[in-house]
Amino acid sequence: MMNKRVSVTLKGVVLALILTVMFSMLLAAAMYFFDVSDRTASALTFLIGALSCMSGAYAVGKAMESKGLATGGMLGIIYYIVLSAAAIIIKKELSLDAHTLIMLVCAAASGMLGGVLGMPR
């Protein structure tokens, strides 16, 4: 059972990351062709991350059929760690501030919500 939980959770993280890349590319195209302000782009980036994380957790909740809250929260945390690791590799710096904590909490919360919504009724 534990191996299935890990396997399904990792598949959910991969799904969330793929969705993040796809929607980020759409946002980049929109920013290229239209006049999108930095504030709007920042809000849309946050929304993309939350919805991607929620979608991955939803898929995990559907597959696991139990413990959607815990599994979704774990997915959100893993998702955030992977994105942070990529950002550290690219930017070569680590920033720990209020924004970092808010993003971690939002990733975990959207994962929890997605995991609960994915549970069979």
* Cβ atoms of residues 14 and 78 within 8 Å: no
Angle at 38 (CA atoms; ends 88, 107), nearest 5 degrees: 50
Reading the chain (121 residues) residue by residue, the pLDDT tens digits are: 568 788 888 999 999 999 999 999 999 999 999 988 889 988 999 999 999 999 999 999 888 877 888 899 999 999 999 999 998 899 887 777 888 888 899 999 999 999 999 888 7
Helices (H), the chain: 2-33, 38-64, 68-91, 98-117
76: CB partners within 8 A, 6+ apart: 53, 57, 107, 108, 109, 110, 111, 112
